[in-house]
Chain A
Amino acid sequence: MAATSTFTAILIADAGLRLPIWVGILGGLLAGALIGLINGSLVAYVRMQPMIATLAMMMVCAGTALVIANGKTISLRSIQGWESIAMGQVIPGVPNGVTILILLAIIAGVVMNKTAIGRYSLAIGSNKEATRISGVNTRRWEVLAYVICGVFTGISGILMSSRLAAAQPTLGQGYEMYAIAAAVIGGTSLRGGRASIFGAVIGAVTIQTIFNGLTVMGVQDQWQKVVLGVVVLIAVFVDIMRRGGKEE
């Protein structure tokens, strides 16, 4: 989840070694997958509370990022082509970051709706026991879901460090709340069983539009956070209303 910082830092370590960019990218993705694998195993096989396991892992990652980056921000400005990963324009007028987002959203949407992992994830989220009794190896699928999540976190770390042309080991602190807010605004149930990729993208765009719009209006940062919090509360409230006041 918030292991973004680690990836960034690992990439930098790679950059420090002056390895080619693709090695750095691969390293970031693999590190993401590995952390997802550990998270998933802790939850599925050791049966830890998901929230506790991932929170603990978040601290491990944040600390590790500082250790391997030696506590400093690592500049990627001199790495040829790194900035263009997110900021270049393969399609004229559209930064690559946006293109990548749309591509990944489409892939994720297909995976969620058309493949076993997607459908099983929703089923496990809805009722793990029933899914297991139906003959699904829930543990294995759960781990895979976490691995995919980790890979996506790796991608976000790469894009973020590309946009900033630097990797800061303390980057991304508090972003896990934005991720949760985006999913909730997009109609994903925190109790599991219901999720929408399109909704999550809309949620993320909504959050960023709120921040951007308020800044354009000259509203100060403190109030921007208040507004975002209220918007999340309203989103959850509307969601409850829509389902006729039933609690999941």
Chain B
Amino acid sequence: MKKFIAGVAGATIAVLALSACSAGGTAATSAAAGASSAAGGSIKVSLIAKGTSDYWTLVKNGAEAAGKDLGVEVTYNATDTENEGDKQLNLLTAAINDKPQGVAIAPQDGAQDGAPTVLDQAKAANIPVAVFDTPLKSWDGAIATIASDNEGIGAQAAENLSKLIGGKGKVAMVIQGVTGTAALRRDGFANWMKANAPDIQVVDIQNGEADPAKSRDKAQAILQANPDLAGFAGTSDYSTIAIADEVAAKGGTVKVVGVDASPDVLTLLSEGKIDGIVTQNPYQIGYKTVSTLVDQVKGKAPAEKTIVSEAAWVTKDNMNNPEIKQITG
């Protein structure tokens, strides 16, 4: 809500500044104010996200950068956690009522079933809808879905972990949920192991509920139960940090891989406590969501219904490369 108000306030100020310019203001002020909203006519797009972690900050940064580059106004709102489907639907309804030229949603599990009805209203009002980060099942009215291939990410983590432990031994996972992206990554990981690594045994997969403390408890118990564990994988930043800290506390030789690069994950990577991470490109997801919507508004429909944002394998060795730096922020 605060962001929403700030967004509205910002827009108001920009509009005021512009009208002042047209009334004979100086060129200097018009350039400053025009950067955010003037150049694109009055295109306004609204993004509804579902979290406040570092990952979502990167999505937001990408979306705002696209807004700046394309000269459109971007409103970004998000629920605090991924367990507030009803709240997310309220945000979505409010965004649509604000009559933007485009709207995009990263549907959380709790909003999956309720979103179609609300999005139908957007469609009826001729507002193009894009879906980002997480695919929206049960509604096919979106102009495009901009997301990572989460099963592919799980498989990528599995493949690299298998290489790190020489293709044999026991591995385990701590995941951040049992639905949505967490489930896809888990399945991608487990299926890859089953198909390609006959000598690797996935001994346990536990849910840390995207809660750092609970994730650590799970990681600790798994290490207690399996003293001969060879590899350990997390499916989100919190679960990966929890695993790395527990493995380091135990002082073992367990190889640790994970998903998503938050600043703490990168610190642990540089300290050698994490061996590698598959990282999505949240910045690119945010950027592409806005640019896809803007293209649509300007009459250019996206070529594909699914726009995959490529994931990258980041290790201590390549983490400082410029192209990786841009992804990890």
Question: What does the 1/0 interface line of B201-242 toward A look like (CB < 8 Å)?
Answer: 001101101011100111011101100000000000000010
B212 touches A171 (CB 8 A): yes
What distance in Å separates the Cβ of B238 from its nearest Cβ neighbour in chain A? 8
Give the residues in chain A near B204, CB-CB below 8 Å: 215, 218
B53 touches A160 (CB 8 A): no
Beta-carbon nearest neighbor of A218 in chain B: B204
A71 touches B218 (CB 8 A): no
What distance in Å separates the Cβ of B264 from its nearest Cβ neighbour in chain A? 5
Give the residues in chain B near A3, CB-CB below 8 Å: none
Q: How far is the CA of A169 from the CA of B52 in the complex (A)?
A: 10
A165-B245, A170-B81, A218-B204 as given contacts; A212 in contact with B217, CB under 8 Å = yes
- Which residues of A from 153 to 194 have beta carbons under 8 Å from B? 160, 163-166, 168-171, 173
A215 touches which one: B213, B225, B262 (CB < 8 A)?
B225
Cβ of A67 under 8 Å from chain B: yes
A221 touches B206 (CB 8 A): yes
- Give the interface segment out of A72-80, A112-120, A135-143, A232-240: A72-80
A164 touches B80 (CB 8 A): no
A170 touches B213 (CB 8 A): no
A72-B54, A77-B267 as given contacts; A221 in contact with B207, CB under 8 Å = yes
Number of interface residues of A (CB under 8 A): 30
Cβ of B300 under 8 Å from chain A: no
Give the residues in chain B near A42, CB-CB below 8 Å: none
Q: Among A75, A78, A213, A215, find the residue whose CB has the most chain B CB atoms closer than 10 A.
A: A215
Q: How far is the CA of A247 from the CA of B245 in the complex (A)?
A: 47
Cβ of A216 under 8 Å from chain B: yes
A77 touches B221 (CB 8 A): no
Question: What does the 1/0 interface line of B33-57 toward A look like (CB < 8 Å)?
Answer: 0000000000000000000111001
A220 touches B53 (CB 8 A): no
- Which residues of A from 54 to 97 have beta carbons under 8 Å from B? 66-67, 71-73, 75, 77-78, 87
Give the residues in chain B near A222, CB-CB below 8 Å: 178, 207
Cβ of B249 under 8 Å from chain A: yes
Q: How far is the CA of A165 from the CA of B242 in the complex (A)?
A: 10
Q: How far is the CA of A82 from the CA of B216 in the complex (A)?
A: 18
Beta-carbon nearest neighbor of A78 in chain B: B267
Give the residues in chain B near A7, CB-CB below 8 Å: none
- Which residues of B from 182 to 204 have beta carbons under 8 Å from A? 203-204
Cβ of B298 under 8 Å from chain A: no
Task: Taking A66-B80, A215-B218 as given, write out 15 further A-B residue pairs in contact, using a Cβ cutoff of 8 Å, ordered by the A residue number.
Answer: A67-B2, A71-B78, A72-B53, A73-B262, A75-B264, A77-B264, A78-B267, A164-B212, A164-B213, A169-B52, A169-B80, A173-B81, A215-B217, A218-B225, A221-B178
State the 4 A-B residue pairs at the shortest beta-carbon distance, nearest first: A215-B221, A71-B52, A221-B207, A216-B225
Binding site for A on B (CB under 8 A): 2, 52-54, 57, 78, 80-81, 178, 203-204, 206-207, 209, 211-213, 216-218, 220-222, 224-225, 241, 245, 249, 262-264, 267
Binding site for B on A (CB under 8 A): 66-67, 71-73, 75, 77-78, 87, 160, 163-166, 168-171, 173, 208, 211-213, 215-218, 220-222
